Amino acid sequence: MTICEILPNIYYVGVNDRLTRFFEGIWFIPNGISYNAYLIIDEKVTLVEGGAKAGFERELYNNISMVTSPEKIDYIVVNHSEPDHSGTLPFLLRIASNAKIVSSTMAKNILMNLYNIPADRFVTVKDGDIIELGEHKLRFFNTPGVHWPDTIMTYEERNKILFSGDAFGSYGTLDGGLFDDEVDIKFYLEEAKRYYSNIVGAYAYAVLNALKKLSGLEIRIIAPSHGPIWRREPSKIVSLYEKLSKYEAEDKVLIIYGSMYGFTRELAEYIAKKLVEEGVRVELHNAVNEHPSYALSKAWDSKIIIFGVPTYENIAFPPIYYIAYLLTIKKLKNRYYAIFGSSGWAGGGYKQIQKMLDQLGWEMVEPVIEIRGAVKKRDLEKVNELVKNIKRKLI
């Protein structure tokens, strides 16, 4: 229970999920995740964010009960309809039998499909609409695509809080600390980057549009739907988002490799060694025993990504194919890539990866280093050439 009055009459009533291993059924969350929700006590009692994932009804109810009787809720603001926040809505609507959901029209339609909620339980809002709660006023901004197409953000005018939904969120439960000045900020910024690359990254243009729309707004606190509340330095998470959504990379090389018997791995290690000798920052990612969510996160701020891919049944080793495919659907742009890998006879599996990355608009750094079996002395000249060409791209 992390319940807390974050400002006079505004309470954090969110919950921690320490059991889900894969967020959205796919993204590894070894440190769990929080589903943040905020309760504003005024003439109109308002819950901002629909609640939490289904299964957290009891805990959410208990949290709200610490502040007021949950039956008294008048408004439930749904910034977007995804079930990690809306799963508890059917329960809340039964408990608070007069409560209305405040959402975009599109979120209303999605929620009606998800939970059979009758239309008269909704108040829909458009861009710029204001709802008066008494002393507090909520203003709504249309920010479609961050993260779902139905997304709005909610701004509380009195305290200048932006309830930003998934934007500016991060993986990781809130273990006592709730605010950026109470937690290990390095951990959450790293997890915010991974969250961005996994969840929001495919809609970078939507993030840029939203940032533009909010740029004139005085924001003292960013209260997202996952992870810490940003009150000391909201600019930290905003500038991270700016950087990520503009595809800005660091002078860093990421080597993503997979290897059945170690031949491609040995070459990966040798290439990494040579790059480090040349003063290049290198990260290594094993495609099999590290979750792909980390590969996306590391790729998002790497200028050059090298794929170490053995040939497997005439195609690319599937774990590498999967990561390249994820990078394609997450639409990571403006990157250089290189390829190496081992094969037994005909080889050529790497061509699949090459095709995918070319279609994504990435530029290849040559040469492709395809070895037969183990690395031979004669292959090393090609490594030197690749390292030289990579260095050129980093200057």
d(CA 385, CA 367): 7
Does residue 259 touch ligand FMN according to CB under 6 A? yes
- Least distance to Fe ion from the beta carbon of 180, Å? 19
Residue 84 touches which of ligand FMN, Fe ion, none (CB < 5 to 8 A by kind)?
Fe ion
Interface with Fe ion (CB under 5 A), residue from 17, 57, 166, 191: 166
C-beta of 39 vs 267, nearer to ligand FMN: 267
With binding defined as CB under 5 A, does residue 57 bind Fe ion? no
Among 16, 81, 311, 354, binds ligand FMN (CB under 6 A): 311
Choose the one of ligand FMN, Fe ion, none that binds residue 166, judging by a C-beta under 5 to 8 angstroms depending on kind. Fe ion
Nearer to ligand FMN, 237 or 320 (CB): 320
In this complex, which beta carbon is closest to ligand FMN, that of residue 268 or of residue 304?
A: 268
Q: For residue 351, give the nearest of 339, 365, 333, 366 by alpha carbon.
A: 339
| 191 binds Fe ion, rule: CB under 5 A | no
Site for ligand FMN contains 262 (CB under 6 A): yes
Report in angstroms how near the CB of residue 81 gets to Fe ion at its nearest: 9
List the one residue out of 135, 185, 183, 188 whose CA is nearest residue 158: 135
Q: Which is nearer to ligand FMN, 145 or 349 (CB)?
A: 349
How far is 28 from 391, CA to CA, in rounded Å?
Answer: 33
- Give the nearest residue (CB) to Fe ion: 82
Does position 314 bind ligand FMN by CB under 6 A?
yes
In the complex with ligand FMN, the residue whose CB is nearer, 249 or 371, is: 371
Chain centroid offset of residue 353 CA: 24
Asked if 49 is part of the footprint of Fe ion (rule: CB under 5 A), the reply reads no
Which residue from 264, 302, 352, 354 is in contact with ligand FMN, where contact means CB under 6 A?
Answer: 264
Q: Which two tokens stand for residue 253?
A: 């090389």
| Using rule CB under 6 A, residue 373 touches ligand FMN | yes
Q: How far apart are CA 51 and CA 218, in angstroms?
A: 26
Single out the residue of 55, 134, 344, 361 in contact with ligand FMN (rule: CB under 6 A). 344
| Site size for Fe ion (CB under 5 A) | 5
Q: How far is CA 24 from the centre of its chain?
A: 11
Residue 82 binds which one of ligand FMN, Fe ion, none, with CB within 5 to 8 A depending on kind? Fe ion
Q: In what order do the strands lie in the sheet with 122-124?
A: 4-7, 10-12, 38-40, 46-48, 75-77, 100-103, 122-124
Binding string to Fe ion for residues 225 to 244, with x set by CB under 5 A, is what? x-------------------
Counting residues that bind ligand FMN (by CB under 6 A) gives 19
Contact with ligand FMN (CB under 6 A) among 218, 345, 359, 392: 345
Tell me how far apart the alpha carbons of residues 247 and 314 are, in angstroms, rounded to a whole number: 33
Q: Which of residues 149-178 bind ligand FMN (CB under 6 A)?
A: none
Q: Using CB under 6 A, which residues numbered 346 to 365 contact ligand FMN?
A: 346-347
Of 121 and 147, nearer to Fe ion (C-beta) is: 147
- Contact residues for ligand FMN (CB under 6 A)? 259-265, 310-314, 342-347, 373
- Contact residues for Fe ion (CB under 5 A)? 82, 84, 147, 166, 225
